[in-house]
A and B are shown apart, each in its own frame.
Chain A
Amino acid sequence: MKGPNQEEEKEVEKVFIGGLHEHLTEEKVIDESQLVPNFADEIQKYGGKDVMTCLQCGNCTGVCPISLKIDYKTRSIIKYCQFGLKKYTLGTRWVCATCYRCYEHCPADLNPAEVMIALRHIAVREGIIPPFIKTAATNLVKYGQSVKPDPEIDKIRHELGLGPIHSQDPEYPKVIREIQVLIHASKYDKLIGIQEEVKV
Chain B
Amino acid sequence: MTAPEPQNKGTPQGEPAKIAGAALVPKVGVFVCHCGSNIAGVVDCGKVREAAEKLEGVVVAKENKYTCSDLGQAEIIKAIKEHGIERVVVASCSPRLHEPTFRKCIQQAGLNPYLLHMVNLREQCSWVHSHEKDKATEKAIDLVLMGVSKATRLEPLEAREVPVEPTSLVIGGGVAGIQAALDLANMGFKVYLVETQPSIGGKMAQLDKTFPTGDCAICILAPKMVELARNPNITLLSYADVEEVKGYIGNYDVKVRKKARYVHEDKCVGCGLCSDACPVKVDNEFDLGFGQRKAIYIPFPQAVPLKYTIDKEHCLHFKTGKCLLCVKACTNEAVDHEMEDEILTLKVGTIIVATGYETYVPMKKGVYKYWEYDNVITGLELERLINASGPTGGHLIRPSDGTTPKRIALVQCVGSRNKKIGNNYCSRVCCMYAIKNSQIIMEHEPSTEIAVYYNDIRAFGKGFEELYHRVREDYGVEFIRGRPAKLSEDPKTKNIKIRAEETLLNKITEREFDLVVLSTGLRPSEGSKRIGKILSLTTSPDGFFQEAHPKLRPVDTAMDGIYLAGCCQGPKDIPDSVAQAKAAASSAAAPMFAKKVTIEPLTAWVNEEVCQGCGLCVELCPYGSPELVPGQKGGTKAHIIEALCHGCGTCAASCPQKAIVTRQFTDDQIYCEIQAALSEHGRKQAPKKRAEAEVSG
Let me know if A57 and B503 touch, CB within 8 A.
Answer: yes
Chain A residue numbers with a CB within 8 Å of B419 are 53, 107-109
Docked-complex contact A59 and B483, CB < 8 angstroms: yes
Q: Is A73 an interface residue (CB 8 A)?
A: yes
Taking a contact as CB atoms closer than 8 A, the residue among A53, A55, A62 that contacts B499 in the complex is A62
Q: Kindly state the separation between the CA atoms of A73 and B483 in the bound complex, as whole angstroms.
A: 14
CB pair B483–A68 under 8 Å, yes or no, is no
Judge whether A67 is part of the interface by a CB distance below 8 angstroms.
yes
What is the 8 Å Cβ interface bit string for chain B, positions 468-501, against chain A (1 contact, 0 not)? Answer: 0000000000000111111000000000000111
A63 within 8 Å of B (CB atoms): yes
**How many Å from the CB of A96 to the closest CB on chain B?**
16
Contact between chains at A62 and B420 (CB < 8 Å):
no
- Is there contact, CB below 8 Å, between B455 and A57? yes
A105 sits at the interface (CB 8 A): yes
Kindly name the residue among A67, A68, A105, A107 whose own CB sees the greatest number of chain B CB atoms within 10 A: A107
In the complex, whether A120 has a CB less than 8 A from a CB of chain B is no
Contacts of B503 in A (CB 8 A): 56-58, 61, 75
B425 to chain A, nearest CB (A): 12
Contact A106 B420 (CB under 8 A): yes
- Interface residue B367 (Cβ < 8 Å from any Cβ of A): yes
Assess the A57–B420 pair: CB atoms within 8 A: no
Q: What 0/1 readout, one digit per residue, does chain B (403-435) give for beta carbons within 8 Å of chain A?
A: 000000000010001111000000000000000
Report yes or no: B501 in contact with A61, Cβ–Cβ below 8 A.
yes
State whether B508 touches A62 (Cβ < 8 A).
yes
Q: How far is the CB of B411 from chain A (nearest CB, A)?
A: 11
Residue in A53, A56, A61 whose CB lies within 8 Å of B485: A61
Q: In the complex, how many angstroms separate the beta carbon of B502 from the nearest chain A beta carbon?
A: 7
In whole angstroms, what is the CA distance A141 to B481 when docked? Answer: 49
Q: Are B508 and A68 in contact (CB under 8 A)?
A: yes
- Select A63's contact among B418, B481, B486, beta carbons within 8 Å: B486
User: Are A58 and B420 touching (Cβ within 8 A)?
Assistant: no
* From B413, B455, B501, B506, contact of A62 by CB (8 A): B501
What is the interface size of chain B, counting residues whose CB is below 8 A from a CB of the partner? 21
CB distance from A100 to the nearest CB of B (A): 13
Does A195 reach chain B (CB closer than 8 Å)? no
Pair A107/B485 contact, Cβ less than 8 Å = no
Known interface pairs A73-B501, A107-B418; A59-B485 also in contact (CB < 8 Å): yes
- A: number of interface residues (CB 8 Å): 20
The answer for the CA separation of A62 and B503 in the assembled complex, in Å, is 10
- A76 contacts B506, C-beta separation under 8 Å: yes
Q: Which residues of chain B are near A105, meaning CB under 8 Å?
A: 367, 420, 485
B-facing residues in A66-97 (Cβ within 8 Å): 67-68, 73, 75-76
Tell me the minimal C-beta distance from A7 to chain B in angstroms.
31
Q: Which residues of B contact A58 (CB under 8 A)?
A: 481-483, 485, 500-503
Cα–Cα distance between A64 and B456 once the two chains are bound (Å): 22
Shortest Cβ distance from A66 into chain B, in angstroms?
11
Q: Quick one: closest A residue to B480, CB to CB?
A: A58
Main secondary structure of the interface of A (DSSP, over half): loop
Min Cβ gap A23→B in Å is: 18
Chain B residues numbered 419-475 whose CB sits less than 8 Å from any CB in chain A: 419-420, 455-456
**Cβ proximity bits B357-373 to A, threshold 8 Å, 1 near / 0 not:** 00000000001000000
| Residues of the B chain whose Cβ atoms lie less than 8 Å from the Cβ of A68 | 508
Determine the chain A residues whose CB is within 8 A of the CB of B481 once the complex forms.
Answer: 58
| B508 contact set on A, CB distance < 8 A | 61-62, 67-68
Give the residues from 28 to 65 in chain A that come closer than 8 angstroms, CB to CB, to chain B: 53, 55-59, 61-63
Q: Which of A101-139 contact B (CB under 8 A)?
A: 104-109
B506 touches A57 (CB 8 A): no
In whole Å, how far is B624's beta carbon from the nearest beta carbon of chain A?
A: 38
Within the complex, the shortest CB–CB distance from B302 to chain A, in Å, comes to 38
The reply to whether A62 and B486 contact each other, CB–CB distance below 8 Å, is yes
Q: CA–CA, A105 to B482, complex, Å?
A: 13
Q: Considering the complex, give the chain A residue whose CB is closest to the CB of B504.
A: A58
Are B484 and A62 within 8 A (Cβ)? yes
Most B CB contacts (10 A, CB to CB) among A56, A57, A108 go to: A57
Which residue in B367, B482, B486 is a CB contact (below 8 Å) of A57? B482
B426 smallest CB distance to A (angstroms)? 11
**By the criterion CB–CB under 8 Å, are A62 and B482 in contact?**
yes
User: Chain B residues with Cβ under 8 A from A53's Cβ?
Assistant: 419
Query: Which B219-252 residues have C-beta < 8 A from chain A?
Result: none
Q: Bound complex: CA of A56 vs CA of B482, how far in Å?
A: 8
| Whole-angstrom CA separation of A53 from B500 in the bound complex | 20
List the B residue with the shortest CB-CB distance to A102: B485
Write out the residue numbers on chain B whose beta carbons fall within 8 Å of the beta carbon of A109. Answer: 419-420
Using a CB–CB distance below 8 Å, which chain A residues touch chain B? 53, 55-59, 61-63, 67-68, 73, 75-76, 104-109
Name 17 A/B residue pairs within 8 A (Cβ), A-sorted: A55-B455, A57-B413, A57-B482, A58-B483, A58-B501, A58-B502, A58-B503, A61-B503, A62-B483, A62-B485, A62-B486, A63-B485, A67-B501, A73-B501, A75-B503, A105-B367, A105-B485
Inter-chain pairs besides A53-B419, A62-B501, 8 sampled, C-beta below 8 Å? A55-B417, A57-B482, A61-B508, A63-B486, A67-B508, A104-B420, A105-B367, A107-B483
Nearest 5 interchain pairs by C-beta: A62-B485, A58-B501, A61-B501, A109-B419, A57-B483
